[in-house]
Chains A and B, each alone.
Chain A
């Protein structure tokens, strides 16, 4: 049955990518909204190129967080339009495979958006590149991994809510605070070349473990009704 679980995972992942290519909701909204957010932020701080590294990292992640929260809403509507979400859930499998497939596909799309947004960020804020580019890339990757995982889960929680548009970011931000602080510090250290804050890397890994394990335990329960 483990083999068939992987097959379903692969199928759902490819399906998500195919759907996104046909009608790039998540990418388009992510990029456009993110670009606008970045532009507004740059205006708000007077296009300053002399911001401290921790402020720069904070602004970058703030934009990524908001952009991601908006993207999740679009993706779920596509599943619900013709009831495909129910159809997919009617598989004789452990349902957490649906969560992991969705997490993985969202991660790919958000990573694409984040890459473009980060490039834009350096341009608009007139910043030099990070002192430790590999660490910078790793912090972006890990942050996006945690954010897409928790976002997928929270988007599922808010599925039946009439206040979904507001509640998704409202629930996502407090729950992802450790992630936000962790990636913010790691990104800031990568930008400035300061020693790697290993304690923050630990917090980040702890958070990622939680995001990986909790849905496996709880997704089935959530979907039973």
Chain B
């Protein structure tokens, strides 16, 4: 029942995060289990993105520790993470295909595997028809889907998604939910955030943030 449980992939221990001396996260201790989906709903400015960044190791907590599989997280563990934040983390002057191939390469794939993986993921996120178009010309929804493909192409063990359904049309939401559910079914843990209640049926645990503290929604 604690962070040291073997099925806890990622755990936070008494994490505090301050920005300009203002506490954003306060004594957060939480575990993320393998193959489970978590939904964090909270209003703007409550610290959702900060919490995701702390989990991903993009932001160092002011106090407390982040553990991966029971030991302090290191840079090497980033290979197990897929992260989708507000910015899509792509180059506007590269095509969708080139962007995905670049990230596939950074994750150690060979040249032929890179092309194959990028094509497969573009098909999955229904962007194959614009694969050779520069990302600068993509719509927000397309960018969001490309960002998801970018985060998932190396088959991470945990996916951290900041407002993944924001700005997507109904079809986009369905596609996204389907891909995420599929990932969860294969053992990937999901941590998602949003302003309101979850739009996906497969969420196991719901959280909220109030005054920097993480609360589990039981109702």
A and B touch in the complex (CB under 8 A): yes
Q: Which residues of A contact B (CB under 8 A)?
A: 4, 7-8, 11, 15, 18-19, 22-23, 78-79, 81-84, 86-88, 90-95, 224-225
Q: In the bound complex, how far is the Cα of B58 from the Cα of A18, in angstroms?
A: 27
* Pair A86/B89 contact, Cβ less than 8 Å: yes
- Contacting residues, chain A, for B75 (C-beta < 8 A): 92-95
B89 contacts A19, C-beta separation under 8 Å: no
Q: Are B91 and A90 in contact (CB under 8 A)?
A: no
Whole-angstrom distance from the CB of B86 to the nearest CB of chain A?
8
Check B150 for interface membership: any CB of A closer than 8 A: yes
> Which residue on B lies nearest to A89, using beta carbons?
B58
Task: Closest B residue to A84 by CB, please name it.
Answer: B91
Contact at A83–B94, with CB atoms within 8 Å? no
Task: Note all chain A residues with C-beta closer than 8 A to B105.
Answer: 7-8, 11
> 8 nearest interchain CB pairs?
A83-B87, A87-B89, A92-B79, A92-B78, A22-B93, A11-B105, A83-B89, A92-B76
**Which residues in B have their C-beta under 8 angstroms from that of A90?**
56, 58, 78, 81, 83, 89
B58: A residues at CB distance < 8 A: 86, 90
Q: Is the CB of B77 within 8 A of A92?
A: yes
| Seed contacts A19-B93, A224-B60; 8 additional CB < 8 Å A-B pairs | A4-B108, A8-B106, A83-B90, A87-B103, A91-B106, A92-B76, A93-B75, A225-B59
Residue of B nearest to A21 (CB): B93
Chain A residues lying within 8 Å of B103, measured Cβ to Cβ, are 87
| A83–B58 CA distance with the chains assembled, in angstroms | 13
Closest CB-CB distance, B119 to chain A, in whole Å? Answer: 18
Q: Which residues of B contact A (CB under 8 A)?
A: 56, 58-60, 75-79, 81, 83, 85-94, 98, 102-103, 105-108, 135, 143, 150
Looking at chain B's contact residues, the main secondary structure is: mixed
Ordered by A's residue number, 28 sampled pairs between the chains whose C-beta atoms are within 8 Å are: A7-B105, A7-B108, A8-B105, A8-B106, A11-B105, A15-B91, A15-B102, A81-B92, A82-B87, A82-B89, A82-B135, A83-B85, A83-B86, A83-B88, A83-B89, A84-B91, A86-B87, A87-B90, A87-B150, A90-B56, A90-B78, A90-B81, A90-B83, A91-B106, A92-B79, A93-B75, A95-B75, A224-B60
> Would you give the shortest CB distance from A47 to chain B, in whole angstroms?
40
Known pairs A7-B108, A225-B60; A82 contacts B92 (CB<8 A)? yes
Q: Which residue in chain B gives the minimum CB-CB distance to A85? A: B89
In this complex, what residue of B is CB-closest to A25? B93
Please indicate the chain B residues that have their CB under 8 angstroms from the CB of A93 in the complex.
75
Residues in A neighbouring B108, C-beta threshold 8 A? 4, 7
- Tally of A-B Cβ pairs under 8 angstroms: 71
Contacts of B59 in A (CB 8 A): 225
Chain A residue at smallest Cβ distance from B57: A90
Given the known inter-chain contacts A11-B102, A84-B89, A86-B87, please indicate yes or no for A18 contacting B94, CB distance below 8 A.
Answer: yes
- Collect the chain B residues with CB atoms within 8 Å of residue A83's CB: 85-90
Contacts of A8 in B (CB 8 A): 105-106
* Residue numbers in B under 8 Å from A79 (CB-CB): 91
Residues of B contacting A94 in the complex (Cβ-Cβ under 8 angstroms): 75
B64 to A: closest C-beta gap in Å: 16
Question: Measured between C-beta atoms, what is the minimum distance from A22 to chain B in Å?
Answer: 4
Q: How far is the CA of A83 from the CA of B144 in the complex (A)?
A: 13
Chain B residue, CB-CB nearest to A225: B60
- Which residues from chain A contact B143 at a C-beta distance below 8 Å? 82
B153 CB, nearest partner CB in chain A, Å: 12
Question: Does A78 contact B91, Cβ atoms closer than 8 Å?
Answer: yes
What is the CA–CA distance of A93 and B75 in the complex, to the nearest angstrom? 7
Chain B: which residue is nearest A81 at the CB level? B92
Given A87-B150, A91-B106, A225-B59, does the pair A19, B79 have CB atoms closer than 8 Å?
Answer: no
- The answer to whether A82 and B91 touch across the interface, beta carbons within 8 angstroms, is yes
- Let me know if A82 and B88 touch, CB within 8 A: yes
In whole angstroms, how far apart are the Cα atoms of A86 and B106 in the complex?
13
Give every chain A residue within 8 A of B81 (Cβ-Cβ).
90
